[in-house]
Amino acid sequence: MTNINFKVDKTKCINCKKCANDCFAKIIKMSAENTPLISEEDEQYCIKCQHCLAICPTGAISILEKNPENSKPCSNFPDSEQLLNLIESRRSIRIYKHENLPSKDLQKLKEILKFSPTGCNNHKLHFSIIDDVEVMDRFRNRTNNKIKKILLSLPINSVKNKFAKYRKEFLNGEDIIFRGAPHMIVVSSPINAPCANEDGIISLSYFELYAQSRGIGTLWCGFAQICLKLFPELCEFLQIPDGYKPIYVMLFGPTNVKYQRTIQPEEYTITSVKGDSNIDNMSFIKKIKRFFWNI
């Protein structure tokens, strides 16, 4: 039987039932004394979201050995316009200083990762972080040498379009893949996680915006992600656990680049759904098309 150690300080509990009403698993019940409790039989259904600890207005609830006095208050929200400007100002950074971030910044970036939401509160992501520029250089050189051997073995006309330009630049010594970044983070997920790919992308999105708020450059790196798939030994270098797959790669570090204004992006198509489409008369052919588009 799972012991989640659900405890209620009856001297603080005001019997408001907020914890019971907010419990996703519906396992918090009110006792005859009108205080919350979870039966031993129901403990196995707890998804460990800690919503009960977070919502209690008086800090009466502890769970999973987590005590409310060790949590921060949810009152210091950033100004919405400042947050909007942070999002609008985000840029992909491809020019970095060849030096380590201060240890304080690195530690703060690591701490934010545990707050990333995951599907079904799976919370089993793994993060491989290269936080030393010398280790990053070893990884960079190993990967670039592998790519160089492949490019030199391919006929020139087999690499077309924009990749032909990348080939020339790469063989001339430009760090096309890692852009000289001193640090890298790779998020990996168990192959059987319910939302493996989504969890990883969400976590790096949180990481990126927090890095931006500290003046730290980031870059979503698809080239590096491809390298991890092509060369499994790189996953061993990164100490990715067995049974995990790398979801995506982000480069990060200090940069001299400072953008002065936001860009003016093209609008996405946004549909305000009215709910009056005659979907009952949708043709079988269109249903088949939609099915294949969905998968």
The runs of H, that is alpha helices, within the chain are 18-22, 51-55, 80-89, 103-112, 133-153, 162-171, 196-213, 222-230, 232-237, 284-294
Higher pLDDT, 152 or 230: 230
What pLDDT score was predicted for residue 222? 94
Query: Residue 256 pLDDT more than 70?
Result: yes
Residue 263 has what pLDDT? 94
Nearest in space to 113 (alpha carbons), one of 46, 199, 52: 199
Whether the predicted pLDDT of 160 surpasses 60: no
What pLDDT is attached to residue 169?
84
What is the band of 127 on the pLDDT scale with cuts at 50, 70, 90?
very high
pLDDT of residue 142: 95
Which phi-psi region, left, alpha or beta, contains residue 7 (left: φ > 0; alpha: ψ -120 to 50)? beta
Higher pLDDT: 220 or 122? It is: 220
Give the distance, in angstroms, between the CA of residue 79 and the centroid of all CA atoms in the same chain.
23
**What is the chain's mean pLDDT, rounded?**
92
**What mean pLDDT do residues 104-109 have?**
97
Confidence of residue 275 (pLDDT cuts 50, 70, 90): confident
Distance CA(76)–CA(141), nearest Å, equals 44
pLDDT one-digit tens code per residue, 46-103: 999 999 999 999 999 999 999 999 999 988 788 999 999 999 999 999 999 999 999 9
Instruction: Please write the tens of the pLDDT for every residue from 213-243.
Output: 999 999 999 999 999 999 999 999 999 999 9
Residues 9-54 pLDDT 10s: 999 999 999 999 999 999 999 999 999 999 999 999 999 999 999 9
Which pLDDT belongs to residue 279?
A: 82
Chain centroid, CA 208 distance in Å: 9
Q: What percent of the chain has pLDDT over 90?
A: 82
In this prediction, residue 163 carries a pLDDT of 67
Average pLDDT over residues 261-276: 91
Longest dimension (CA), the chain: 80
Cβ atoms of 127 and 111 within 8 Å: the answer is no
Query: pLDDT band for position 161 (50/70/90)?
Result: low
